[in-house]
Amino acid sequence: MAQAQPGIRGGMNFATLSTLNWDGASRDAQVAGKAGWQLGVFYQQPLAGRWSLVPELQYSYQRLDLQVEDNSVNDGSYAGHYALSLGYLHVPMWVRAAFRKGYLEVGPQLSMLVNAHETGTETMGSFFGSTTSAVDRPAGDRYARADVALGIGGGVQLTNTVDLSLRISAGLLSLTSEYAAPYNYGGSLRNQVAQLSLSYQFKKPVAE
């Protein structure tokens, strides 16, 4: 039987947000993704044949530019243009299938937002007019703390202990609330993240 393999993983990510909304022109969002980084530890547990289970604990720092406008509230509106950073603890659970020097993997991911920051401007509108102000603030209370995602990826073994992998994950829950306007954007914003990583495994499988 193969032995379990602990390891570390790190690399860069590219984060964006899906902006699909269902209420016509009252809400609009535009997102420009930026590069960030991630670092984590994992544990590969062989199952049978080519299959293994790979739980992981990872910190991911995600960056993007977000421009939003919400006119869904009577006599009120909200507009913001931010440089937004999000820090997540991710706990993915990968099911991996190995093929010679490579592998494919798929699985769910639970996430917890541990920090967020917004830098930019926001405009609050009302029946009496609008006010624009600069913002540079922690924003953890403006976004959902928990997220659930599905991921898929693959990798190639570069050496006996080093792998190069590419993963893509799509969040299933919105980071914002439809009840947030007029103090924040109330449309649906969901995480979409691509990760390019190098991993180092401390112990490779050996036959017993």
- Tens-digit pLDDT profile for residues 34-82: 999 999 999 999 998 899 999 999 999 999 999 998 887 777 788 999 9
Q: Are the C-beta atoms of residues 190 and 171 closer than 8 Å to each other?
A: yes
| DSSP code at position 177 | -
Residues paired with 73 in a beta bridge: none
Separation CA 78–CA 72 (nearest Å): 9
Residue 93 placed within a domain:
yes
Q: Is the pLDDT at 1 greater than 70, yes or no?
A: no
When divided into structural domains, the chain yields a total of 1
Residue 115 placed within a domain:
yes
DSSP 80-106: EEEEEEEEEEEEEEEEEEEETTEEEEE
Residue 170 placed within a domain:
yes
Separation CA 195–CA 169 (nearest Å): 9
Residues paired with 11 in a beta bridge: 38, 197
- Tens-digit pLDDT profile for residues 79-128: 999 999 999 999 999 999 999 899 999 999 999 999 999 999 999 888 77
Helix (H) or strand (E) holding 149: strand 146-157
Mean pLDDT to the nearest integer, 196-203: 91
Range of the domain at 132: 5-201
Separation CA 132–CA 122 (nearest Å): 6
Closest Cα to residue 57, out of 110, 98, 15, 96? Answer: 110
pTM of the entire predicted model: 0.88
Residue 68 placed within a domain:
yes
Number of H helices, E strands in the chain: 0, 9
Residue 207 placed within a domain:
no
Residue 44 placed within a domain:
yes
Residue 206 placed within a domain:
no
Residue 28 placed within a domain:
yes
CATH of the domain at 135: 2.40.160.20
**SS3 sequence of 45-86:** EECCCCEEEEEEEEEEEEEEEEEEEECCCCCEEEEEEEEEEE
Q: Are the C-beta atoms of residues 42 and 145 closer than 8 Å to each other?
A: no
| DSSP code at position 172 | S
**Dihedral angle of Cα 137, 140, 141, 143, to the nearest 10 degrees:** 110
- Tens-digit pLDDT profile for residues 123-162: 988 877 789 999 999 999 999 999 999 999 999 999 989 9
Residues paired with 117 in a beta bridge: 85, 138
